[in-house]
Amino acid sequence: MNSIFDFAEACLYRSDIDEKLELTHRAMQLLRENRLQLTSSGQVLPIEGVRFPERPVLLPPREMPSRKLNTPGGAAAFFHAIAHVEFVAIYLAWDLLYRFRGLPEQFYRDWLRVADEEAQHFALIREHLKAMGVDYGDLPAHGGLWEHATDTAGLLPARLALVPRCMEARGLDVTPALIEKFRQAGDQQSVAILTRILTDEIGHVELGSYWFKFVCREEGGDPEAEYRRLIGEYYKGGRPKGPFNRPLRHKAGFSDAELDWLETGG
């Protein structure tokens, strides 16, 4: 394979975890060496055919068992949930660059880098889990994350609003407090992993903001108005719930007007 779209198709439509990680890293290496073809090639397959591993068992959010960090198995359950978020994020990055064609080459470079960093995050957390005696797939996982992709398979602005600027942006709000909890518990390994993820995720959301604004303006729309409209139309529940980390969201490309709307509806 020498086309980014061939790599994307393999990562999306094959279910083997280790192969997916290896292909993602190989594609990134080819990109660094200027040996990866970025021109559109091949037919875009339906999103319904995307394949996930048989495990973990996916449950509706309301059926997910609740375990506190300070209970037996609580830390393992927490990191298994994070591993699943990062694993689905690999798919989300690949699907974003696979499904939407005709954009500047930098778009495909950017989202391949995101896929590669998500794969690195997943591998870090998986090793952390194994040290606790758990592997990815041993516990059930949240079954609703991929719906953000299927719901927005035909509309790029909606995908960018819902995935990097909603789902991933939520990590900017909640991760600093989680890092502090592990720091207070003296768990420096968990602190290091979560800090690495948070640092990269700020960049991912910033890319989402950049390309969302780019696409909206190319289509003649106002990005702030389009963000409100698309979140209202596609986000289940009407609007994401706070509290919101304004400094980190500012850094990641959110405007004061967008944050005011998220916080107050005004």
Q: Are 240 and 170 in contact (CB under 8 A)?
A: yes
Residues forming a β-bridge with 59? 142
Q: Is 0.85 surpassed by the pTM of this model?
A: yes
The values of phi and psi at residue 152, to 5°, are -120, 25
> For each of the chain's 266 residues, which pLDDT tens digit applies?
899 999 999 999 999 999 999 999 999 999 999 999 999 988 999 999 999 999 999 988 777 777 777 776 899 999 999 999 999 999 999 999 999 999 999 999 999 999 999 999 999 999 999 999 999 999 999 888 899 999 999 999 999 999 999 999 999 999 999 999 999 999 999 999 999 999 999 999 999 999 999 999 999 999 999 999 999 999 987 789 999 999 999 999 999 999 999 998 75
Q: With respect to CATH, is domain 70-264 assigned 3.90.1150.10?
A: no
